[in-house]
Structure 1
Amino acid sequence: MAGRGYRELAEELRCRIDAGEFAGDRKLPSIEQLMDEYGAARQTIRSAIGVLADEGTVVPVRKVGTLIRNRTPVQVPLSRYGQVIAPGNTKGPWETATAAQGLDGNMQFVSVERVHADRQTAALLNLANGDELVHRVRQALIHPDDVVQIQQAWYPLAIAEAAGLDRNDKVIGGVYGALTAAGHRPETASETVGARAPTAAEASQLRIGGRVVVLTLERVTHDAGGQPLEVLRAVAPADRLKLSYDNLPLGGP
């Protein structure tokens, strides 16, 4: 095996990972172990791991080792919204969708703050540039710490206060249930999906390499009277998320 280049070594390790050889520990052998096994220099091993990290196959974690990245896709159907509109649920849309697939999903609260609307967000919420909003940040995880989505959401201040979305904690049962309980029942949701390379901060939070494309989602939610209730923007690795737009109406009136 001696004399292999780092790209050949990366291919060999990729094949072994895909075959499930390291499924037990969910991480590669140490650099020293790989050096002994392949008779390769430390830099060759490091470069091979770098290739795998950049493509999103592994995640080097300091003082832990090189972890095998979970690439199991999570299917998230549009119908997840309708299932959680009624108040009193204990699971939000993400938790409902993951539970249906036998996954232990959790929406983790990160932060909440009052901000002034930028021009783009103000226009989507039918507000004036600079109006006060509530900005919430959260992460969609698979237990215990596998971050699959980063979500940011903005709400008109009065609506957020009425629904308790300005509080510094998680919204149990999801935002839609909280909005409904406050008299602002969501009626329509329009989503726009795109794709791009991740920023350095996104790659770090999602534990992906720079070559893993991320999906970007922007959702605008309105009530029955057409009032905008929420602007949500989410980012997720394209190899982890499957957005399913189920049972859409087709044809004319």
Structure 2
Amino acid sequence: MSTSILRDSTTSLYEQIAHQLLEEIQRGDYEPSGKLPSEAQLGERFGVSRVTVRLAVGKLSDDGVVERKQGKGTFVAAKQVRHGLDALRSFHEALLLQGLQPSMQVLSHALRPVPEAMRGLFEEAGDCLLLERLHVVDDEPIALGRSHLPAELANVTWAEVEHQPIYSILESITGLAVTRADLAIRAQEADKSLAGALHVKRGAALLVMERTSYFADGRCCDRTTFFIRPERYAFILSGVFKSNSAN
């Protein structure tokens, strides 16, 4: 790796170091672990003080290029997941389409009375299945999903279908296709339970996506609330929008 920096440049030493490290990150020089050399190693390499190195790494951290993990070092920041809102697809499928290798862990599943707020969705149903699953990417939790599903899914052996999307399970059990979903997005602070599951601080801001899915006959088949770490996730809506007013 080149270590050239210009001592008499109008660009500060730490900015030059940050730029060089950025180029190396973009080339993939630190894959597969993503770990950067220590501050002492970088200081020796560039012939600068730890303070200068710390400023360079701090700039990369502020720009979202690297992340510092206490007691472990500095790592290339994980790529942000982009979830398109213009197609009907499961949360898990959205991760797969980006070339990621996501996994899911079933945390709990049990029959529960239909919540009062959802009585209008699950008409004439006394109970529904409450399912909690943790979505993991790069060995880190990215989202927790809480799903209210038809009671007939209670007999599913969840250990055998842990990594299957909800839509696939619904269609295989009922023989009906999911044809529509309504989405609502908001923000919420992480309570103690969510903070523990997602490895964030209590009170940290989370993205919340509430998805209500329907069969072709109009019956609700899924109400899932995803609690998402926002630094790893972005919602994208692509399309052409036409103004109603004349220019």
TM-score, normalised with respect to structure 2: 0.62
2:79 aligns with: 71
Could you say what the CA RMSD is over the residues aligned between the two structures, in angstroms?
Answer: 4.6
Q: How has the CA–CA distance of structure 1 residues 73 and 157 changed in structure 2, closer, same or farther, with 3 Å as cutoff?
A: closer
Q: 1:246, 1:197 → 2: CA distance?
A: 31
2:153 aligns with: 160
Q: 1:63, 1:203 → 2: CA distance?
A: 19
State which structure, 1 or 2, has the greater radius of gyration over its C-alpha atoms.
2
User: How many residues matched?
Assistant: 219
Q: 1:58, 1:71 → 2: CA distance?
A: 10
1:191 aligns with: 183
Q: How has the CA–CA distance of structure 1 residues 75 and 51 changed in structure 2, closer, same or farther, with 3 Å as cutoff?
A: same
1:31 aligns with 2:39: yes
Q: 1:198, 1:54 → 2: CA distance?
A: 23
What's the CA shift for 1:196?
Answer: 6.4
Q: Is contact 1:109-1:169 (8 Å) kept?
A: no
Q: 2:81, 2:180 → 1: CA distance?
A: 26
1:226 aligns with 2:231: no
| RCO higher in structure (CA 8 A, sep ≥6) | 1
Task: Work out which of the residue numbers 139, 149, 153 in structure 2 matches 1:145.
Answer: 139
SS in 1 for 2:78: coil
Q: Is contact 2:83-2:236 (8 Å) kept?
A: yes
1:174 aligns with: 165
2:243 aligns with: none
Long gaps (5+) in structure 1? 2-7, 82-91, 248-253
Task: Work out which of the residue numbers 4, 19, 27 in structure 1 matches 2:23.
Answer: 19
1:94 aligns with: 92
SS in 2 for 1:20: helix
What's the CA shift for 1:168?
Answer: 3.6
What's the CA shift for 1:30?
Answer: 0.2
Q: How many percent of aligned residue pairs carry the same amino acid?
A: 18
Give the counterpart letter for 2:166 in structure 1.
V
Q: 1:198, 1:169 → 2: CA distance?
A: 30
Q: Is contact 1:193-1:218 (8 Å) kept?
A: yes
Q: Deviations over 1:114-164 (max 9, x none)?
A: 275695763574479x956322212152xx4365x41313224613225x2
1:107 aligns with: 103
What's the CA shift for 1:66?
Answer: 0.8
Q: 2:165, 2:17 → 1: CA distance?
A: 41
Q: How has the CA–CA distance of structure 1 residues 239 and 180 changed in structure 2, closer, same or farther, with 3 Å as cutoff?
A: closer
